[in-house]
Amino acid sequence: MKVEDLLFSLPLPVAITDGEGRITYTNQKFEFLLNKSFKYLKGKKLSEFFKNREKIEEQLKKSYTDLLEIFGFRDNNYYLSFSPLYVASKVEGVIVIVQPAEDNPFDEDILLLLKGLSHEIRNPLSGIKGAAKLFSQLKEYDEELVTVLLEETERIERLLDNVTKSFDFSLLNFEKTNIHRILQSVVKLFESEIREKGISIVYDFDPSLPEIPLDSDRMTQAIMNILRNAMEALSDSREKVIKIETGYAIQPSGFIFVRIKDSGAGMDEEELKKFLLPFFSTKEKGMGLGTFIAAEIVKRHGGELKVKSRKGYGTEVTVLLPMKRSDGKGSDS
């Protein structure tokens, strides 16, 4: 089978560029997207046909030079993904796949945006309040606690600096990050509340996990929402245990997993079906945005959030994250 035949069969617009970002091949769907023939496109810079020319040049260069897969770069109404093209183990160019950008529910609904903002500020604020309580009880300096307080205060500042961009989860700043550091810092933030409620946290970490490309702020946001739900699920439970587990995913390969399992009330089948929808909550005063936001963040990382639950037996949330995907700074001007 020829490469041309394979690309022609793909359901998405695809282009191939050389190392300089010049188009060497497109499939028919890419021609339809730009309403230009391949004869016209060949040899031209791919970036000429998109809004954020300089940013796209950067992503093409990163992919070709640094051998990075760049997932979900936002350019106006599209997401572009970049991957090195290997021919006989040598990089000959870059494959670019274009997808229409999904509507962001926070863009048009001001009430949803305000509720989301309120929800996301509440988590770090309650953590800061809990850490301050611990300080008053300890009556001594705790460097780790101070670091958590400063980090969460700065995260609120970043959230408020640009409210609308804070809820566009396609705008991710990826850096290689230790997922265990994020998990432990989130638990540290809730430490006071965990003690007060008599919750036991059980860790089962795989220490061999590598650092992976993550937006640290966003992933902290997602993990906080998942852990907050787990803690609240234990309010009427005799046994109050949350197990946090990490490891390499068997399926899909090339992914790690983070699993947060609580011994709470659990959900029935109907509740489970609605669990990831916005504004659905099993809590009397819940907004129903925490898991929805967490799932959106994980999805924008190229991952997946899976939920298992059984009434009376607790809930298990698994976050799957790719190990080898990276992203540049998106722009949606």
User: Over the stretch 285-320, which tens digit does the pLDDT of each residue have?
Assistant: 444 577 888 988 898 888 999 999 988 889 999 999
Please check whether residue 131 is in contact with residue 191, taking contact to mean a CB–CB distance below 8 angstroms: yes
Q: Is the pLDDT of residue 30 over 60?
A: yes
Distances from the Cα of 48 to the Cα of 21, 53, 97, angstroms: 10, 6, 16
**pLDDT above 70 for 237:** yes
Instruction: Of 19, 31, 2, give the one whose Cα is nearest residue 95.
Output: 19
- Say how far apart CA 112 and CA 119 lie, in whole Å: 10
C-alpha distances in Å from residue 315, one per residue of 255, 278, 290: 22, 18, 15
What is the CATH code of the structural domain delimited by 105-326?
Answer: 3.30.565.10
Would you list the domain boundaries of the chain? Answer: 3-100, 105-326
What's the topology of domain 3-100? Beta-Lactamase (3.30.450)
180-217 pLDDT per residue, tens:
999 998 998 888 889 889 999 999 999 999 999 998 98
| Among 266, 195, 189, CA closest to 234 | 266
Q: What is the pLDDT of residue 159?
A: 67
The pLDDT score that the predictor gives to residue 292 is 83
Separation between Cα atoms, residue 236 and residue 283, nearest integer Å:
12
Crossing angle of helices 179-189 and 216-233, rounded to 10°: 50
**Residue 117's pLDDT is what?**
64
Structure tokens at 291: 């898991």
- Rounded to an integer, the average pLDDT of 255-268 is 92
Fold equal for 3-100 and 105-326: no
* CB-CB contact of 283 with 303 (8 Å): no
Report the pLDDT value the prediction gives residue 1, as an integer from 0 to 100.
46
Q: What's the rounded Cα separation, in Å, for the pair 305 and 333? A: 29
Counting Cβ atoms within 10 Å, is residue 31 exposed (0-12), middle (13-18) or buried (19+)? middle
